[in-house]
Amino acid sequence: MKILVCGDVVGRSGRDAVCGLLPALREALALDFVVVNGENAAHGFGITDKICAQLYEAGTDVITTGNHVWDQREVIAYIGNDKRLLRPANFPPGTPGRGWGVYETRRGKRVLVMNVMCRLFMDALDDPFRSVEEVLGSHRLGANVDAIVIDVHGEATSEKMALGFVADGRASLVAGTHTHVPTADAQVLAAGTGYISDLGMCGDYDSVIGLRKDLAIERFRRKMPGERLVPADGPGTLCAVYVETDDKSGLARHVAPLRLGPRLAPAWPLEGGVTAAITARIPT
């Protein structure tokens, strides 16, 4: 199976990059399944039902989130009716929405997607390790699911790595989100799980993690409330990870970063380079 997971979508620049590139990426990479973290998609803070519809229309199968999931208050009433929009599974019991789900691809394969949030330098939530263990205890690769993708939303790379090793051999891919900076450690762990500490963001990298530079710098300098932070609005770069899984075991055979856009060094997960059809869509 061929799966793509895209990092945090930040504002209009990120939405334009994902929605502009994803249809061609699905075709060029023969993707079976696409996961997108959308927690910063609505002007940098949260997500709305309309943005979910845009991402689905572009070819997204499941949307994950994180600490900004509730920033757009209307999503509280919406999330319970959208089975493809996930919030972290380790929110307290009774929180609206769901933290994981099993989804069927067009070829009839079953993909479990789970979203958890770390606790170091983050909100004090329930234990993400226990949440992962509970789901992996009842869903096994090659038995009742064909692939398992876990979005680990967190600040500390150490905590994300630890969760990756906990899931090693039991998940197809553990991908970190939240810091908006892509890491260079995409790999297949010893027992066969694909891993990367952070996907990076889909957004304008001429910015401070997707936000306008002047506003972010002023807030650091003054340490006082000021003008509301807003996303940078230059051309966006798409950052993601691509994983190919073994059809029998569900474990990763190949993991590689994908980066397309004007600011960062490009990365293409397969030999042969980016096709002309995709190159024509890259924002400039």
pLDDT digits (tens, 9 = 90+) for 54-92: 999 999 999 999 999 999 999 999 999 999 999 999 999
Measured between alpha carbons, how far is 265 from 117 in angstroms, rounded to an integer? Answer: 29
Q: Is 68 a catalytic residue?
A: yes
Q: Please, what is the Cα angle at 78 between 19 and 53, to 5 degrees?
A: 20
Encode pLDDT of 104-137 as tens digits. Answer: 999 999 999 999 999 999 988 999 999 999 999 9
Q: Are 57 and 50 in contact (CB under 8 A)?
A: no
pLDDT at 256: 98
Q: How many CA atoms lie within 13 A of 83 on its CB side?
A: 5
| Residue 164: band (very low, low, confident or very high) from pLDDT cuts 50, 70, 90 | very high
Tokens linked to 124: 């004090």
pLDDT at 284: 83
Question: pTM of the entire structure?
Answer: 0.96
pLDDT at 274: 92
pLDDT at 272: 87
| Residue 193: band (very low, low, confident or very high) from pLDDT cuts 50, 70, 90 | very high
Tokens linked to 193: 């799980």
pLDDT at 228: 85
Q: What value does the mean pLDDT of the chain take?
A: 96
Q: Assess whether pLDDT exceeds 90 at residue 223.
A: no
- When pLDDT is averaged across residues 208-231 and rounded to a whole number, the result is 88
Measured between alpha carbons, how far is 45 from 38 in angstroms, rounded to an integer? Answer: 9
Q: Which of 43, 68, 178, 254 is catalytic?
A: 68
CATH numbers and ranges of domains, the chain: 2-201+234-279 (3.60.21.10)
| Residue 226: band (very low, low, confident or very high) from pLDDT cuts 50, 70, 90 | confident
Q: Assess whether pLDDT exceeds 80 at residue 225.
A: no
pLDDT at 275: 87
Measured between alpha carbons, how far is 38 from 122 in angstroms, rounded to an integer? Answer: 18
Following CA atoms 80, 198, 264, 232 in sequence, which dihedral angle do they give, to the nearest 10 degrees? 40
